[in-house]
Structure 1
Amino acid sequence: MLSQSSTVYRILFAISLVHLLNDSLQAVIPAVLPILQTNLNLSYFNLGVILLVMNMTASVFQPVIGYFSDRKPRPVLLPLGMLSSGLGMLGIAFAPNYAVLLVAVAFVGLGSAVFHPEASKVAYLASGARRGLGQSIFQVGGNSGQALAPIMTTLIFIPLGQGGAAWFSLTALLALGVLLFIAYWYGKREKINKAMKSAAALYNHKNQRITALILLVLFVSVRSWIQASYQSFYPLYLIHDFGYSMSAAELYMFVYMLAGAVGTFFGGPIADRFGKRNLLIVSTLGALPFTLLIPYVTGFWAYPLLMINGLIMMSSFSVAVVYAQELMPGRVGMVSGLITGLSFGMGGIGASALGKMADSLGLSFVIIFCSIMPVIGLIGFFLPKDATLEEWEQEAA
C-alpha cells in the first residue's frame, strides 16, 4: 500500500485529463456566445446573465459539496456530475429560446460544481507530499480545457452553429469513463478521512486564518472578473470596435488562454521556491503594466502582450488553491470549493455587471476598466507569509 507521502502520478494525470475535458465543456459557453447572440437576438446583458448562471451554479454549490465530502467521501458524485454536464451540452445545442438555454447552462454548471471539490480532494490525496506539483498538474488540465474555447469557436461553432454543442456530449462520455476508474481508486483509498483531517490546526489562530481566507477569496474573485472580461468580451471588442473576423479574434484568446495554462503549470514549482504569498502578489501587480496596454494594442504585437499577461496572471491559479488548503487544514474540500468555485461565481456576477456596463458605456470602456483591476494584488501584502503558516502548523502539532 502507498504511504500518505507517495505521489500517484497515474491518478494525477487521469484527473488532470478529466479536468481538461470538464473545463472544455464549460468553455463551450463563452465560445458559443457570439452564435447565441445572433440566433436568439441577445443583448450584452443577456450574455452576461448566461455567464452569471454558469458561474453561480458552478460555484455556489462547490463549498457546500466540499464541506459534506470532507466529512464523508462520495466517489459516485464524480461520474454523476459529468452526466449532468453532458445533458447540459445537449440542451445548449437544441435550446429554442433563452429560458431553455439558461436551464441547460445550469446543468453544465451543476456538473462542474460537483466535479471540482471532489476532484481537488483526489488530486490532494494523489499528490502525497508534493502538493504544489500535484495541484499544478491538476489545474493545468482545467486551464488547457478553457484555452480550447477560441478553437472551438473557429472549428466547430462557426461552421456548425449552435448545434455543434451536441458533439461535446461525446467529450462528457469520455470523461465519464475515466471518472469511473478514478472513483474506484478513490473509493478504495483507505483512511481517506484521516488523510484529510488535521482539523485541530484549524483552530490555531482561527480568526487570522478566517480573515486571510476572506481576503484570498476577494483576491481570486477580482482576478476572475478580469478573466471573464478577456475570455468573453475581448473577442467581441476586437470584432465590433476594430472589425476583426470572429476567427481572428478568437485566435488572440487562444494565445492568452494557452499561455495561462503554461503559467499555471510552472506556478506551483515557482511558488515552492519563492513562496506562495509572493507569487500571489507578483502574478497580479506584475501583470499590471501589460494589462494597461491591452486596450490600445492590436495586430501582431497583441499576441506577445496577451501571452505575457496570461503567463504572469495565471501563474498563481493553482497556488491560490494550495495556499488556501494550508491556510485551512482539515477543510480541503470546502476551501477548494471556495477558491475554485465561490470566488469564480463572484466572477460571474462581475461578468453580468460588465455586460451591463458594455451595453451602457461600450465594450472599450469595459476593457479599459478591467486593465486596471490587477491592483487587487495589493491585498496579498495583508496575507500571512508562508513562514507564518508553517509556524502556526508547528504550534498546533
Structure 2
Amino acid sequence: MDVYQGSVAALVPFLVAERGYGYAAASGVVLAASLLSSVVQPLFGVLADRRPMPWLIPLATAAAGLGVALVGLDAGYWATVAAVALSGLGVAAYHPAAARLVRTVGGSGHGPMGWFALGGNIGFACAPLLVVGALSVPGPAGWWLLALPAALGVFLGRPPRSARPAAGPGSGGRDESAPTPSSSASPSPSPAPAPALEDRRAFLRLSLVVIVRSVVFIGLSTFIALYVRERGGSETAGAVALFALFAGSAGGTLLGGRLATRWGRVTTVHRAYAAAGPAIAGILFLPLPLVYVCAALAAAALYVPFSLQVTLGQDYLPTRMGTASGVTLGLTVSVGGLTGPLIGAAAEASSLHTALLALAVLPLAAWALARRLPEPA
C-alpha cells in the first residue's frame, strides 16, 4: 500500500521535467494526495472502531493503485490532481483498519506494529525504483505497470471465508441447536472491568509532534530528488537520493522497537528527533555523495518514532484505537502535505536550498514537545 504514497513523491521530478510543472504546481499534486487522506482517514478510523470491514482493505488497495496509474493519461493538471486524490483516498481507507487489526491481533508489544510499519517503509523505499523502472517502458503500458503491486495487494488482502458471517439454522440466522441461557444454570456474572482511562491532553500533544514530523519528512520526500538535480546530479541520482531516504526509514522503524525496549517509548521518540536535525543539515551543507548517507540517517531518525507514536496514541485513547490510528497515521501525517506548496512557493521566490532550511530546525520543536509526553503504564 505505502508504495503508492512513495510513488506520488517519486513522480514529482517526472512531472517537472516532462510536463513543465513548477515547484508549487508539483507540490500541489503531493498536496492532493495528502489533503483528501487528511480529511477522511480519521472518519475511517471511527468506522473501524464501530464495525469490522474486512472488505475495505482490498478495496482501498485497488483505489490507491488505480489512482497512480491514471496519472499516465495526462489529461491536464486537474485530472492529474484528481487521480492522485483517488490514490490518497485509498491510502486513507486502508491504514486505520489495518493498524487496528495489527494491534488487536498482535497485542501490546512493539514488535507487531513495528513489522507493520516496516512493510510500509519497504513500500516507500521501492517506490522510486518502481516509478523509474515502470516509466522507462514507453507508452501507457509503463503506467499500468505501476498498478501491479495493488493487484497483488488486493489478492493477498481479500477477506477469508471465515471472516464472512454465516447464518445458522433457524430464524434470523440463530443456531437453534445452541444451548439457551437458563437463569438457574447460569453462573453469577463476573464483575465488569473498569473502563480504561483516556489521556486526551497527551494525545493532543502527541498529535502536534506527529504533525511536525510529517512536515519535515514530506518536505524532504517531495523535494530531495529535485534538490540533488539542482546540485548537478542526474535524474537517476535524484531517484537514488529518494531511495536512500525511504530505505533509511525502514531501518529506523526496525531500530525503534529495539530502542523502545531499552529506553521506553517516550525517551526513544524525543532522542530520535534530537538526532534528526543534524542529519537534515548534512543534506543541505555536505558534498553531494554524502547527501545519500545523510538522507538515510535523517529518515532513520524520523522513523524511529513512527510505530511508537501509533501505539502511544492507541494507549492514550485505549477505547478508540481505530480513531487514534486514523489520527496518528492519517490526519496528522497528511497535514505535512499542506505545507508542500508553501515550500515550493518559497523555493520559487528564493532558492530550494533556502526553502529547505526550515526542515533542519523543525525537529527541535518535535523534540521539545515529545519530552513532555507521559509514558503510559
Q: 1:250 to 1:74 in 2, by over 3 A?
A: same
1:287 corresponds to 2:276: yes
- Deviation beyond 6 Å, 4+ runs, structure 1: none
Contact 1:199 1:330 (8 Å CA) reproduced:
no
The residue type equivalent to 1:67 in the other structure is V
Distance in 2 (CA, whole Å) between partners of 1:317 and 1:279 is 11
Bigger Cα displacement from structure 2, 221-230 vs 295-304: 295-304
Distance in 2 (CA, whole Å) between partners of 1:79 and 1:137 is 19
The residue type equivalent to 1:151 in the other structure is L
Contact 2:265 2:308 (8 Å CA) reproduced:
yes
Distance in 2 (CA, whole Å) between partners of 1:52 and 1:184 is 38
1:166-204 per-residue CA deviation (whole Å, 9 max, x = no partner) reads 2122211110011114x656667xxxxxxxx9892235x
Higher helix share goes to which structure?
Answer: 1
1:395 corresponds to which residue?
Answer: none
Q: 1:316 to 1:51 in 2, by over 3 A?
A: same
Contact 1:221 1:344 (8 Å CA) reproduced:
yes
Q: Aligned-residue CA RMSD in angstroms?
A: 2.1
Distance in 1 (CA, whole Å) between partners of 2:139 and 2:333 is 28
1:328 corresponds to 2:317: yes
1:231 corresponds to 2:241: no
1:139 corresponds to which residue?
Answer: 117
1:202 corresponds to 2:191: no
Distance in 1 (CA, whole Å) between partners of 2:271 and 2:161 is 40
2:96 corresponds to which residue?
Answer: 117
SS in 2 for 1:382: coil
Distance in 2 (CA, whole Å) between partners of 1:44 and 1:56 is 18
Structure 1 residue 129: Cα displacement: 4.3
Distance in 1 (CA, whole Å) between partners of 2:75 and 2:128 is 24
SS in 2 for 1:96: coil
The residue type equivalent to 2:295 in the other structure is L
Structure 1 residue 113: Cα displacement: 0.7
Distance in 2 (CA, whole Å) between partners of 1:334 and 1:274 is 27
Q: 1:87 to 1:304 in 2, by over 3 A?
A: closer
The residue type equivalent to 2:361 in the other structure is I
Structure 1 residue 62: Cα displacement: 1.1
Contact 1:48 1:356 (8 Å CA) reproduced:
no
Distance in 1 (CA, whole Å) between partners of 2:273 and 2:27 is 24
Contact 2:6 2:127 (8 Å CA) reproduced:
yes
Contact 1:90 1:166 (8 Å CA) reproduced:
yes
The residue type equivalent to 1:135 in the other structure is M
1:165 corresponds to which residue?
Answer: 143
SS in 1 for 2:21: coil
SS in 1 for 2:147: helix
Give % identity: 27
Distance in 1 (CA, whole Å) between partners of 2:161 and 2:281 is 48
Contact 1:35 1:162 (8 Å CA) reproduced:
no
Contact 2:134 2:145 (8 Å CA) reproduced:
no
Distance in 2 (CA, whole Å) between partners of 1:374 and 1:202 is 30
Q: 1:170 to 1:269 in 2, by over 3 A?
A: same
1:226-269 per-residue CA deviation (whole Å, 9 max, x = no partner) reads 111221111101112x1210101221221221121011022123
The residue type equivalent to 2:203 in the other structure is L
Structure 1 residue 153: Cα displacement: 4.1
Q: 1:59 to 1:164 in 2, by over 3 A?
A: farther
The residue type equivalent to 2:207 in the other structure is V
Greater C-alpha radius of gyration: 2
Distance in 2 (CA, whole Å) between partners of 1:184 and 1:259 is 38
1:151 corresponds to 2:129: yes
1:318 corresponds to which residue?
Answer: 307
The residue type equivalent to 2:197 in the other structure is L
Unaligned runs of 5+ in 2: 166-191
Unaligned runs of 5+ in 1: 1-21, 189-196, 204-208, 391-397
Q: 1:370 to 1:137 in 2, by over 3 A?
A: same
2:18 corresponds to which residue?
Answer: 39
2:232 corresponds to which residue?
Answer: 243
1:97 corresponds to 2:76: yes
Structure 1 residue 221: Cα displacement: 1.2
Distance in 2 (CA, whole Å) between partners of 1:283 and 1:164 is 39
SS in 2 for 1:60: helix
TM-score normalised according to structure 2 size: 0.87
